[in-house]
A = this chain, B = another copy of it.
């Protein structure tokens, strides 16, 4: 998989928060319910967002999480970096440590072109863009479609 499952959950949650964020803080149990993710697991994952300054959290009644910045100032790149790190955007396809223009691996020149496209995509696609396109995803999640292996 391109990005980790934790990261997928985190991105979906961020889209959800961006779509609902007019009402102040969004409680994590609400997000977990609507997205069919374990509450405790999501709590842990979202802490990476608060630690990296993409979200802010508030305890107690009417607490929850909220975006720390406007949705159009948070990119997919920011989200992935906070959860999975930047390896995906910098790594050699074969994982060779010193691979670069000086000592390219056999796939180097072909791979960096694809990787560069992916990086640009991630830097240009904002949370706002994704939130406005998320209607269909939400409908499906709300209808009980869980992740993966649950097609049957």
Q: What is the oligomeric copy number?
A: 2
Q: Give complex CA distance A133, B93 in Å.
A: 15
Stretch at the interface among A48-56, A59-67, A103-111: A103-111
Contact in complex: B148, A105 (CB < 8 Å): no
A102-152 residues at the B interface, CB under 8 angstroms: 103-107, 110-111, 113-114, 117-118, 121, 125, 129-131, 133-134, 136-137, 140, 145, 147-148, 150-151
Q: Which residues of B contact A5 (CB under 8 A)?
A: 95
Q: Which residues of B contact A131 (CB under 8 A)?
A: 106
Shortest CB-to-CB span from A81 to chain B, Å, is: 15
User: A1-B87, A114-B114 are contacts. A107–B125 as well, Cβ < 8 Å?
Assistant: yes
Closest to A97 in B: B151
Contact of A106 (CB < 8 Å), options: B87, B95, B98, B133:
B133
Shortest CB-to-CB span from A142 to chain B, Å, is: 13
Question: Can you pick out 30 interface pairs between chain A and chain B where the beta carbons lie within 8 Å of each other?
Answer: A1-B91, A2-B91, A2-B93, A3-B93, A8-B94, A8-B95, A11-B94, A12-B94, A76-B107, A95-B148, A97-B145, A97-B147, A97-B148, A98-B145, A103-B136, A103-B137, A104-B133, A104-B136, A105-B136, A105-B137, A106-B130, A106-B131, A106-B133, A107-B125, A110-B121, A110-B125, A111-B121, A113-B121, A114-B118, A114-B121
